[in-house]
A and B are shown apart, each in its own frame.
Chain A
């Protein structure tokens, strides 16, 4: 069974559209994260949720809105997509002070 899963794996869309990425973990972790990896492979945290509560909210445009319906799911909704949003988005889960488990990633391409 996949520990952290994300859908879709690839997402190609036009500027101005709204899209969502879904993430689910079956590891029983309380904390889930969203990361953005740019073309230079730099990994930067965007959001963190602990037991459905927003813990970390980095300087991210408010077009990005995470939603956690329960502690096993953390979805990312992006409004009014821009060219600069093109990147690979990784979901992860873990416990504070311990390692994080990453999903396979969603490659978003905005044209």
Chain B
């Protein structure tokens, strides 16, 4: 069935280091969304990518959508302790259903 693979599952970084999480799909995606869930919190929408090769930035966060629309990445430059949480990618199928990746849990050591 439809599945989005997300890696790595965990990432521990020193504050100031960069961080990247990747999502891959075996099928072409119509769009991809990214969410962040802080510890004990709920998923919060970050961004949606729609176009092939699209790159969007939000301050230290850079989101990319692959040319073939089968993969996506989220890169954080110079991580801070406030970046701690689990980052999820999610694809939307034609039925409007969001299929979430497994998530990447980021911990940042000050």
Identify the A interface with B (CB < 8 A). 31, 33, 40-45, 48, 55-56, 90, 96-105
CA distance A90 to B103 in the complex (A): 16
B100 touches A31 (CB 8 A): no
For residue B97, CB closer than 8 A to chain A, the reply is yes
| Residues B33 and A97 in contact, CB atoms below 8 Å apart | no
A71 to B: closest C-beta gap in Å: 15
B79 to chain A, nearest CB (A): 19
Residue in A33, A90, A98, A99 whose beta carbon sits within 8 Å of that of B42 in the complex: A90
Contact sample, A vs B, 19 pairs, CB 8 Å cutoff: A41-B86, A41-B102, A41-B105, A42-B100, A42-B102, A43-B88, A45-B98, A45-B99, A56-B96, A56-B97, A96-B96, A98-B48, A99-B33, A99-B45, A100-B45, A103-B42, A104-B41, A104-B42, A105-B41
A97 near B86 (CB under 8 angstroms)? no
Contact of A99 among B48, B88, B95, B96 (CB under 8 A): B48
Q: How far is the CA of A97 from the CA of B94 in the complex (A)?
A: 9
Report the Cα distance A56→B37, complex, angstroms.
24
Additional A-B contact list (14), CB under 8 Å, known A33-B98, A55-B96? A40-B102, A41-B86, A41-B102, A43-B43, A45-B99, A48-B96, A48-B97, A56-B97, A96-B96, A97-B31, A98-B48, A99-B33, A102-B44, A104-B42
